[in-house]
Amino acid sequence: MIAQLQAFIRGFLPTGGGGGNLLGGRGAIVVIVLLIGAWISSGFYRVQPDEQGVILRFGAYTYWTPPGLHWHLPWPIETVERPAVTRINRTEIGYRSGPSGRMEAGRDPGGRDVLAESLMLTGDENIIDIDVAVFWRISNASAFLFNARNPELLVRGVAESSMREVIGRTPIQPALTRLRAQIESDVLRQTQKILDGYKAGVEITQVQLQKVDPPAAVIESFRDVQRANTDAERMRNEAESYRNDIVPRARGDAARIVFEAEGTKKSSIASATGQTQRFDSVLAAYETAKDVTLRRMYLDTMQSILSNSQTLVVDDRLKGIVPFLPLTPPTAAPARDHSRPQVPPLPVAPGQPTGANR
C-alpha cells in the first residue's frame, strides 16, 4: 500500500537527475508522516453528555471516560464504545406501541397487542390481560456491554417472568383494583434482584401497568359480575347504615326504660318507707293516747269522705223523708291552695265538742 501511494505521489513530482530521486524520497517520507498523523488523530473521540466512553484494548475492557473530548490508542490497538448511560429506555411487555408511543384501550393506531405476553394466570386460577411498560437505564456500562449478549431482551424476559410470578400469587379482583401499585413495586424489586444477580449493569427505574383487564372474550360477562358485586356492596352498606342508626337508638331506649324503672323502684321504696314510718308514728301515738288517736282518725276519715260528697241540708222537724240516691255526678270539691301551708287540726279529747257542735 505504501509503494502504491508513493507511485501515485511520484507521478505529481518532477522527474530527472538526482534531484528527482531526492524529491521522490522526500515525498515518500511526507506521505508516511501524513499517514502516521492521520492514524494518530483517529484516536480522538468525543463522548456526549448522556454517554460514557468504554475503552477496549484488543477487545478487552480497559477503562472508561466521562463526557468530553478524549484520545485513545488508534485502531487496531484500542477501540471505544459509547453507550447512553443517562437515557431512560422503555421495554414493553404485552404490546408494542406505535410511532406515537401511546396505547389507547390496549391498542395504538400503529401498535399491536402481544397476547402471548399479556395473558397471565392469577392466584385464583383466572386469566388476566396485562400490558406493562418497564423503564430502565444503564448503571454499569462495562457490565451492560459484556455480561449480556442482548440486554434489552434480557430485561424483557426477566420483567415478564417477574410479572407472571407476582400475578400468579395475586387474586384477580385485587389485581384489577387496589393492588396495582403493590404489583408494580413487587415486579420492580424482583426484576432488579434478578438482573443484579446476572450483573447486567441495568437499573430498573419504574414499572407501569398500562392495562389490567379480563380477557376480551369474557370482559362483558366480567363487567356484569362487577356490577352485581357493586350492587351487593351498596346494599350491604345501606344495611350497615340502617343497623348503625337503629341499634344505638334501641340501646338508648333500653337504657331509658331501665333508668325509669330504677327511678320507679326507688320512688316506690321511698314511698313505702315513708308510709311505714307514718304508720309507726301513728302506732306510737295510739299507744300513748288510744282514745285521742281513735277520735282523730275518725275525724280525718269523715273529713276526707264528706269533703268529696254532695251536701244536703234537711230540717230536723221534717218527718218521713225518703233517702234517695243522687244520679247526677257530685260537684267537684274546690282545689286546695297548695301555696299556703296546711295547718292540721288540733287533737280533740274524747267527749269534747267540736267547732261544728259548739
- Quote the pLDDT of residue 119: 86
Q: Is 131 inside any structural domain? A: yes
- Quote the pLDDT of residue 194: 92
Number of Cβ within a 10 Å radius of residue 72: 20
- Quote the pLDDT of residue 324: 62
- Quote the pLDDT of residue 67: 76
Task: Tell whether 189 and 135 lie within a shared domain.
Answer: yes
Number of Cβ within a 10 Å radius of residue 162: 24
Which residues, 6 or more positions from 255, have their beta carbon under 8 angstroms from its beta carbon?
Answer: none
Q: Which domain holds residue 55?
A: 46-84
Task: Tell whether 120 and 206 lie within a shared domain.
Answer: yes
Which long-range contacts link 259-268 to residues 24+ away (Cβ below 8 Å)? none
- Quote the pLDDT of residue 105: 38
Task: Tell whether 95 and 195 lie within a shared domain.
Answer: yes
CATH number of the domain encompassing residue 175? 3.30.479.30
- Quote the distance between the C-alpha of residue 259 and its chain's center: 43
Task: Tell whether 59 and 140 lie within a shared domain.
Answer: no
Q: Is 17 inside any structural domain? A: yes
- The total domain count for the chain is 3
- Quote the pLDDT of residue 110: 45
3-state secondary structure the chain: CHHHHHHHHHCCCCCCHHHHHHHHHHHHHHHHHHHHHHHHHCCEEEECCCECEEEEECCEEEEEECCEEEECCCCCCEEEECCECCCCEEEEECEECCCCCCCECCECCCCEECHHHHEEECCCCCEEEEEEEEEEEECCHHHHHHCCCCHHHHHHHHHHHHHHHHHHCCCHHHHHCCCHHHHHHHHHHHHHHHHHHHCCCEEEEEEEEEEEECCHHHHHHHHHHHHHHHHHHHHHHHHHHHHHHHHHHHHHHHHHHHHHHHHHHHHHHHHHHHHHHHHHHHHHHHHHCHHHHHHHHHHHHHHHHHCCCCCCCCCCCCCCCCCCCCCCCCCCCCCCCCCCCCCCCCCCCCCCCCCCCC
- Give, for all 358 residues of the chain, the pLDDT tens digit: 777 766 766 665 555 544 445 445 676 777 787 777 777 777 777 777 777 777 787 777 776 777 777 777 777 777 777 777 778 889 888 888 765 544 433 444 445 778 888 888 888 888 888 888 999 998 888 888 888 888 889 999 999 999 999 998 888 888 888 888 898 999 999 999 999 998 888 999 999 888 888 887 777 777 787 788 888 989 999 999 999 999 999 999 999 999 999 999 999 999 999 999 888 888 887 788 888 878 888 888 888 887 877 777 777 777 777 666 565 655 555 555 444 444 444 444 444 444 444 3
CA distance 16 to 312: 184
- Quote the pLDDT of residue 348: 42
Task: Tell whether 95 and 171 lie within a shared domain.
Answer: yes
Last residue of a domain, one of 84, 107, 140: 84
Q: Is 265 inside any structural domain? A: no
Task: Tell whether 17 and 72 lie within a shared domain.
Answer: no
- Quote the pLDDT of residue 352: 43
Q: Is 192 inside any structural domain? A: yes
Please, are residues 128 and 214 in contact by the beta-carbon 8 Å criterion?
A: yes
Q: Is 310 inside any structural domain? A: no
CA distance 139 to 133: 19
Longest Cα–Cα distance of the chain, Å, equals 201
- Quote the pLDDT of residue 25: 62
- Quote the pLDDT of residue 5: 67
